[in-house]
Amino acid sequence: MEQDIDQYFIENLRRRNPKIYRQANQHLNTIFYSYNDHLKKVMHIAGKVKQGFVHISPLIQKCNKEICPACSDVCCISKHGFYNYEDLIYLHALGFCPPDLKPGAKDSDPCQFLSFKGCVLERCFRPSGCNWYFCDPLLEYLESMPWYHEFDDLMREVAELWLKMIEEFFSSINHANPKLHLPQIHR
């Protein structure tokens, strides 16, 4: 029985299996190498997403410096710090090699990218679970800033670009090779 390979990775990466994570990265390496010309638009949109995160990051960092040091319930946990398939598409479109997955982490464990000085990854390379998650105290503080509406508009623009990038990826791949399948899935 054949199953669409992308759907396979979308569903199975949720299990946080290092073997499936490596397979997904190898698959995307092959896709971006083999279909580079078909994916130029995806790479262009990914660059815009990255620039959006670069622009937004200082605004979030200002708030993090005020809220996070006094927090007793740290948000930087494994639950938010795991790359899903869309994240991997984005990173590969940028030509960024995703870091290895730390096996065996529980949702409540500290994120593998958290150091005593904060995240070791630039915001534009962090998992989407990290970038799109705001705890209540941080969100309340953000909302109290005079520039919040600008920030909210920027986040919305980045989200719309993200969706466009993912849509373009699947559309481009389906156009370039409509029969990209994983022959047999052995579990």
Span 174-180, average pLDDT = 71
User: What is the model's pLDDT at position 128?
Assistant: 92
Mean pLDDT of the chain: 87
> Does residue 181 carry a pLDDT above 70?
no
> Does residue 36 carry a pLDDT above 50?
yes
Across 71-75, 79-83, 121-125, 183-187, least confident range: 183-187
Q: Which amino acid is at 185?
A: I
Across 28-32, 35-39, 94-98, 99-103, least confident range: 99-103
Across 10-14, 81-85, 109-113, 132-136, least confident range: 10-14
Residue from 151, 138, 148, 147 nearest 70 by CA = 138
User: What is the model's pLDDT at position 126?
Assistant: 94
Q: What percent of the chain has pLDDT over 70?
A: 93
Alpha helices in 35-147 (DSSP H): 40-67, 85-94, 128-131, 136-143
Assess contact for 82 and 107: CB atoms under 8 A. Answer: no
Q: Which two tokens stand for residue 37?
A: 């010309």
User: What is the model's pLDDT at position 186?
Assistant: 35
Distance CA 160, CA 148 (A): 18
CA 97 from centre of chain: 13
Q: What is the DSSP string of 79-95?
A: TTS---HHHHHHHHHHT
pTM of the model: 0.88
Residue from 8, 34, 31, 32 nearest 21 by CA = 8
Distance CA 177, CA 45 (A): 21
Summarize pLDDT for 112-160 with one digit per residue, the tens: 999 888 889 999 999 998 998 888 999 999 999 999 999 999 999 999 9
